[in-house]
Amino acid sequence: MNKYTVRCLHCGEAHEPYSLNCRNGDDALLRVEYSARQLHPADMPGIWRYKEWLPVQGIIEEGSGKTVTYKSEKLASELGLNDLWIAFNGYWPQRDARMMTCTFKDLESFPTMQRLKEQDEVRIMVVASAGNTARAFSHVCSITGQPLLLVVPQESSHRLWTTHEDTSAVFLATVEGDYFDAISLAGKIASREGFVNEGGARNVARRDGMGTVMLDAVLTAGSLPDHYFQAVGSGTGGISAWEASMRLIEDGRFGSKLPRLHLAQSLPCAPLYSLKYGTDAVAPECPGGMYDDVLFNRKPPYAIKGGVRDALEATGGTVYAIRNKEAAESQSVFEKEEGIDINPAAAVAVAALVKAVQEGNVQPDDRIVLNITGGGQKRLMQDYPVKIIEPSVKVSAKDPNAEDMIVTMVQNVFGVYK
């Protein structure tokens, strides 16, 4: 029996295992159906503990981290909660958390890279990012040697640091523009000969990789939570949590009710909040003024079949629009109570939890999972030297020659695909 089947959520047809889109042209996500109906963790390092529910055959042994889930005491007490579980993604050696990029985007990059290896892919992978995804893919590509073109907004380039000495597999292009400009430019380049798109939200490996946050939380706590909190940009992490929860319900051992999704965005740039509630929560200067601009995506996968809207409707979910002051205060509270630094995006999720408590959206005895999507960066930099990945080229999103300029330079560095 095959390990898994990839199926279109609209037409229901099975597709080739490495497909990104429905061959019938349906505007719907593909989803994986695993032959293993119950999850049995493997004795493997990092994320590969959940290999049974990842769309891969092999593993990348070096460098993979995993979510570390623990029951909160101090923050829970501060908020008056009795059953709060923190899913920590980052570097925290005291809890054996060792994501060397300090972001849960590692959970996407490793299974995505493994799938490329299984296809014997030699083309140059193209990744657009606001920073954290780029850092995660540069980490795994520095391990495997897969040539990588990163297209990142110029204002996000400071997030491109690494603990690797050798980053020769990585070509960084920065764009004067926002994340959507980077996505648009990366998409054009990825369609050209010699390049391959990693797929974004349509890549089942990325979604199922992020879904391991829910798997780890449920296997650690023993049951599905009542509520799941996460800060999101595109909302793909929310989709992933929903999909993982459905598999866990089918497993039969962890409960029968979907967790309610609580997705948090950062004002003044909260497009998912606008789409959900029909209000204008996206300022003209976006992504300027945000607590963390990694949480901004102008074109999130909202209305697509299997997308964010479906996930929110299925779970009775909600979206929060968090102000900078709320995020800053929540970050201080979390770091004081839990004893580890967290990334600004994760602070937005903490602020959503604080607001949910204040508004009565959660009850003291509810089981809650709080996804800390990044943390421990200050702690890691005490233990390891890091270096900034310098851009190889800087372009403007308005330059009609930007695409050709990047392609020519990348081909000069990596060679032309034959």
Is 161 found in the same domain as 210?
Answer: no
Residues 136-144, mean pLDDT to the nearest whole number: 96
So what's the pLDDT on residue 1? Answer: 56
Please tell me the distance from the alpha carbon of residue 142 to that of residue 15, in angstroms, as a whole number: 31
Tens of pLDDT, residues 184-202: 999 999 999 999 988 889 9
In a domain, 3, yes or no: no
In a domain, 277, yes or no: yes
Label residue 418 by pLDDT band (50, 70, 90): very low
Sign of the CA dihedral 7, 8, 11, 16?
negative
In a domain, 409, yes or no: yes
So what's the pLDDT on residue 130? Answer: 83
In a domain, 46, yes or no: no
Alpha-carbon dihedral 319, 67, 343, 268, rounded to 10 degrees:
-20
Is 306 found in the same domain as 243?
Answer: yes
CB count in 10 Å sphere of residue 120: 6
Label residue 98 by pLDDT band (50, 70, 90): very high
In a domain, 114, yes or no: no
Host domain of residue 163: 124-193+386-414
Is 404 found in the same domain as 284?
Answer: no
Phi-psi region of 18 (alpha: psi -120 to 50; beta: other; left: phi over 0): alpha
Is 50 exceeded by the pLDDT of residue 126?
A: yes
In a domain, 55, yes or no: no
CB count in 10 Å sphere of residue 203: 23
SS3 content of the chain, % helix, strand, coil (to 5): 40, 20, 40
Is 188 found in the same domain as 219?
Answer: no
Q: pTM for the whole thing?
A: 0.95
Q: What is the CATH number of the domain that holds 185?
A: 3.40.50.1100
Is 276 found in the same domain as 158?
Answer: no
- Are 385 and 163 spatial neighbours (Cβ–Cβ below 8 Å)? yes
Tens of pLDDT, residues 335-377: 999 999 999 999 999 999 999 999 999 999 999 999 999 999 9
In a domain, 180, yes or no: yes
Tens of pLDDT, residues 312-331: 999 999 999 999 999 999 99
User: 4 pairs with which residues across the strands?
Assistant: 34
Give whole-number Cα distances, 407 to 132, 146, 150, 178, 318, in Å: 23, 17, 12, 20, 41
Angle at 172 between CA 171 and CA 174, to 5 degrees: 155
In a domain, 295, yes or no: yes
So what's the pLDDT on residue 372? Answer: 98
Count of domains for the chain? 2
Is 223 found in the same domain as 97?
Answer: yes
So what's the pLDDT on residue 417? Answer: 57
Is 372 found in the same domain as 262?
Answer: yes
Segments of 317-409 assigned E as strands: 318-322, 368-375, 387-388, 393-396
Tens of pLDDT, residues 400-416: 999 999 999 999 999 86
Tens of pLDDT, residues 60-91: 999 999 999 999 999 999 999 999 999 999 99
Is 391 found in the same domain as 373?
Answer: no
Is 139 found in the same domain as 215?
Answer: no
Is 361 found in the same domain as 234?
Answer: yes
Is 362 found in the same domain as 243?
Answer: yes
Is 354 found in the same domain as 322?
Answer: yes
Give the list of residues 6+ apart from residue 140 with CB closer than 8 angstroms, or none.
60, 63, 106, 109, 110, 113, 146
